[in-house]
Amino acid sequence: MTCFLSILSTATAYPCQNKHLSAAFWLILLIPVSCFTFYSLVPPGDLIGLQLASERGDLRMTESNSPKSAKKPRWTSLEICLITIVSLLFIIIIALIILFATQKTGLCRLSAHAASRLIENMDASMDPCDDFYQYACGGWLKKNIIPETSSRYSTFDILRDELEVILKVVGEATALTKAKTLYKSCTNERKSAHRGGGPLLDMLPDVFEWPIAVNEWETNYGKSWRLEDVIAKLNEKYGTQLLVNFFVGSDDKDSNSHIIHFDQQTSLGLLSRDYYTCTGPYAEACQAYEQFMIDLAKLIRTDRGLDINETFIQQEVARVMALESEIANATDTPEDRNNPVLLYNKMELGDLNANFTLEVDSQQFDWSYFTAKIMNTVNISVSDTEKVINYSPNYYRRLNLLLSRYTKRDLQNYLVWRFAMNMVVGLSRAYRDTRKAFRKALSGTTSEAAVWRQCAVYVNNNMDNAVGRLYVQEAFSEKSKELMIKDIREVFISNLDDLTWMDALTKKAAEEKARAIRERIGYSDNILNDEYLNNEYKDLAYSAEEYFENILQNLEYMQKRRLRKLRVKVNKEEWVTGAAVVNAFYSSSKNQIVFPAGILQPPFFSKGQTKSLNYGGIGMVIGHEITHGFDDNGRNYDKDGDLKDWWTPDSTHRFLELSKCIVNQYSNFSWDLANGLHLNGNNTLGENIADNGGIRQAYQAYQNYIRVHGKEPPLPGINLSHDQLFFLNFAQIWCGTMRPEQAINSIKINVHSPGNFRVLGTLQNFPEFAKAFKCSKGGYMVPENTCRVW
């Protein structure tokens, strides 16, 4: 009995608690109770009757060898029951000891691992009140070096690397067999080397050739050349949007319907318009970009047996650079595109011909002909009365002015160059190496990732549901689908009452939108259905010997799938991402938050982690994605995902004023790694608002949790409170570093602040952090002036 009580006492008191022990405890109690109940329900006479029946032979035995004259005393039924109890108790106690030891070891091993990770990544010599990022990530920064194949390295990248290893495994369903074939073709370097640049040379005539890489282009192609034909072909067959960005997407003001969109060119060879100054930190990238073009043109001409005229090639390249520089400057700046209300210009297709003239070599661009040429490939007819949305009217006006300064040859050189530069990845080493110096100048990487790793990423990007199925079966636990979304959503809603800047009418609409958010966790059940997957990929027929052609097939397949949606109602239940992704998402048009299986792992989430770590990890991410529905962009969409102003003018004014505080705070951060450049607080506003809201909601949800369930036992091996652990795990999610070249890119084109400033900026604005670490006001982590929107 002493042993029995000891085990039960330990099972209920030990920090690594186990629900199985509680169940066993009640089982132990029930056995004697049931036995004594049985004894009390059977009258004494009946027990005697049972014994007499046995003596009379009414209960048959298999055999009995005892002589009648030597009978032993028989056990009473009560004695038999008690012996049974003792035997069962002994067996259960042994089982409990084994179970308890196993579970105790397993859970405590997870706790020890979490504590070890936290300790290894932090630098305890730093004062958390001086620089919490260095305190949290100093150890990580010392022990992790950026691989030569990468421009950056972070917690996210480590998890993605691990995920890519898992993706090397291939399943048996037909769709997975196709994924295997695609992967094999990608890793078949021997075949790619044998084919050289042949596949690219063979398909260039399909896009009206690259003038710089062929003789007599004007004679063979120039006379019949039309801009509409070229960019339509690049769009519908290869999914490449140049000059005119044509695509089918949901109607912002009617999110259940699809509509044709016209936008500015969003893809530039040098990433952002700033690079085209070609001075200062951008000079090397410009030079490498031009050399990339020169080397590729020379390689193609050599393979075609054509002469190499260095002067001629350099002149052609210079014209292409000048043209792309003007295109970049014609685009609207990111700051000009922050407001979706201003971007929404709905009109009829015929209005484009009437109001947005484009002219090349005295040829008028026919918007109706261009649109029909694309949509005819999916058997959809359009007329001049077709409703379309023009996101960039000013861009098209500026584009028309610059086109008058260039010839059709210049445009064709540019269009095919931009397509060809992205296609060299599917060719031999000689072709891939033409971009080596450009890659180094742009991102700082000196070598490529292993071929198998590149191929795992490529297959995942192009067959996300098939690969998601594989990942879920190999590495995802169903228990991971249990998240704390409801708790954090309720915190967001309850916090609305605390916002003095928002009036009651707008608060009511905000609550309705928050409650209407759809949640997607882990993966779509469809990906486990062979029939569904096989149907999704039924039109794809890969060859293990022809990787380049497989790439072209994927480009066309994906674009046709998008175009066919024009007459189809938007499926708001559809996932916006695959499962094998280390990220999370919010869709404003679907009012949907998504947490793929790939992110539901430590340090973000684990059933074996303390709640403080889970709330500081995936909890903050959940809060972040919920807040996206109310940031500078998401706030423009209502609960149904429609672009609609549901704010009163006063609440809008107050929101914009509070947002300016966030803009100014982050714009004041300068980054030594990026040559001292300041962050762009306007470009990163939405993400910064989401970070600040997410940390507040997750922390309050955790406090609600411990009020209901009680405080958690200390995490062994680390002398920090759970409030401190919450903030520590949040910060360590963003541990990472970049090469200087990538740091500059990040500031120019990334809508997220760099990881260190995501930590610093967010915690500077949150008083509970200062309380947890007892930081004095006025220090770096507790500035006099702070910002809060949500």
Question: Residue 624: pLDDT above 50?
Answer: yes
Residue after which a domain boundary falls, among 453, 474, 491: 453
Asked whether residue 635 is domain-assigned, the answer is yes
Task: Give the end of a domain, one of 437, 453, 469.
Answer: 453
Tell me what pLDDT residue 608 has.
86
Q: Can you give the pTM of this predicted structure?
A: 0.85
* 511 shares a domain with 417: no
Asked whether the beta carbons of 366 and 324 are under 8 A apart, the reply is: no
Average pLDDT score over residue span 132-138: 98
Does residue 433 share a domain with residue 498?
Answer: no
**What confidence category does residue 83 fall into, taking pLDDT thresholds of 50, 70 and 90?**
low
Of 596, 603, 593, nearest to 582 by C-alpha is: 596
Coil, strand or helix: which one is 59? coil
The pLDDT tens digits of the residues spanning 184-218 come to 999 999 999 999 999 999 999 999 999 999 999 99
Q: Is the pLDDT of residue 105 over 50?
A: no
Residues 349, 380 within the same domain:
yes
Same domain as 401, residue 324: yes
pLDDT digits (tens, 9 = 90+) for 551-565: 999 999 999 999 999
pLDDT score, position 23: 43
Classify residue 50: in a domain, yes or no: no
**Are residues 138 and 197 both part of a single domain?**
no
What digits encode the pLDDT tens for the residues 778-787?
999 999 999 9
Q: Write down the pLDDT at residue 416.
A: 99
pLDDT-derived band at 483, boundaries 50, 70, 90 = confident
What pLDDT score was predicted for residue 474?
84
pLDDT at 56 over 60: no
Q: Are residues 303 and 208 in the same domain?
A: yes
Residues 688/664, Cβ–Cβ less than 8 Å: no
For residue 167, the model assigns a pLDDT of: 81
Render pLDDT for 666-715 as a digit per residue (tens, 0 to 9): 999 999 999 999 999 999 999 999 999 999 999 999 999 999 999 999 99
Q: Which residues contact 164 (CB under 8 A, 6 or more apart)?
A: 453, 456, 457, 460
Q: Which of 25-34, 288-297, 488-497 has the lowest mean pLDDT?
A: 25-34
Q: According to the 3-state scheme, what is the secondary structure of 567-633?
A: HCCCCCCCCCCCCCCCCCEEECCCCEEEEEHHHCCCCCCCCCCCHHHHHHHHHHHHHHHHHHCCCCC
Q: Examine residue 397 and state whether it is found in any structural domain, yes or no.
A: yes
Q: Regarding predicted confidence, which is higher, 172 or 208?
A: 208
pLDDT of residue 279: 94
**What's the pLDDT score for residue 65?**
39
pLDDT at 418 over 90: yes
251-263 pLDDT per residue, tens:
999 999 999 999 9
pLDDT, one tens digit per residue, over 641-657 is: 999 999 999 999 999 99
The CA distance from 494 to 503, in Å, is 14
Please tell me the predicted confidence (pLDDT) of residue 174.
Answer: 64
Q: How far is CA 443 from the centre of its chain?
A: 21
Query: Across residues 353-371, what is the average pLDDT?
Result: 96
Q: How far apart are CA 224 and CA 137, in angstroms?
A: 61
C-alpha distances in angstroms, 53 versus 39, 47, 59, 752? Answer: 18, 10, 6, 85
Instruction: Give the model's pLDDT for residue 15.
Output: 42
| The predicted structure's pLDDT at residue 48 | 32
CB 251 within 8 A of CB 389: yes
pLDDT value of position 244: 98
Co-location of 232 and 357 in the same domain: yes
Query: CATH no. for residue 646?
Result: 3.40.390.10
Give yes or no for residue 21 having a pLDDT over 50.
no
Confidence of residue 376 (pLDDT cuts 50, 70, 90): very high
Residue 691 a catalytic site member:
yes
Mean per-residue pLDDT, 124-139:
98
Q: Tell me whether residue 236 is in a domain.
A: yes
My answer on whether 277 and 144 are in the same domain is: no
The Cα–Cα gap between 158 and 143 comes to 13
30 assigned to some structural domain: no
What residues contact 335, with CB distance under 8 A and at least 6 apart? 682, 683
pLDDT of 29 higher than 90: no
The mean pLDDT value for 464-493 works out to 88
pLDDT score of 25 more than 60: no
Over residues 122-138, the mean pLDDT reads 98
**Average pLDDT score over the chain:** 89
Catalytic residue among 251, 252, 295, 691: 691
| One domain, residues 443 and 352 | yes
Residues 352 and 497 in one domain: no
247 part of a folded domain = yes
Give the model's pLDDT for residue 61. 34
DSSP sequence for 102-122: HHHHHHHHHHHHHHHHHHHH-
* Residue 168, pLDDT score: 76
Say yes or no to pLDDT of 111 above 60.
Answer: yes
Amino acid at 161: D
Whether 744 contacts 656, CB under 8 Å: no
pLDDT for res 456: 93
Query: What average pLDDT does range 439-452 have in this prediction?
Result: 93
Residue 509 falls inside a structural domain: yes
User: Can you give the CATH number for the domain in which 418 is found?
Assistant: 1.10.1380.10
501 close to 654: Cβ distance less than 8 angstroms? yes
**Calpha distance 472→14 (Å, rounded):** 33
pLDDT of residue 173: 60
Of 231, 228, 227, whose CA–CA distance to 240 is shortest? 231
- Residue 277 pLDDT level (bands cut at 50, 70, 90): very high
pLDDT at 71 over 60: no
Asked which of 348-362, 479-493, 612-626, 714-728 is least confident by mean pLDDT, the reply is: 479-493
Question: What pLDDT, on the 0 to 100 scale, is given for residue 8?
Answer: 38
Active site residue 625: yes
Phi, psi of 10 (to 5 degrees): -65, -40
Query: Residue 175: its pLDDT value, please?
Result: 74
pLDDT score, position 58: 36
Note the pLDDT tens digit of each residue in 211-237.
999 999 999 999 999 999 999 999 999
Report if residue 443 sits inside a domain. yes
Read off the pLDDT of each residue in 626-652 and give the average, rounded to a whole number: 98
| Residues 515, 507: Cα–Cα separation, whole Å | 12
Number of domains in the chain: 2
Give me the catalytic one of 209, 625, 638, 687: 625
Domain extent, residue 443, equals: 174-453
Could you tell me if 420 and 511 lie in one domain?
no
160 shares a domain with 214: no
- Is it the case that residue 60 has pLDDT exceeding 60? no
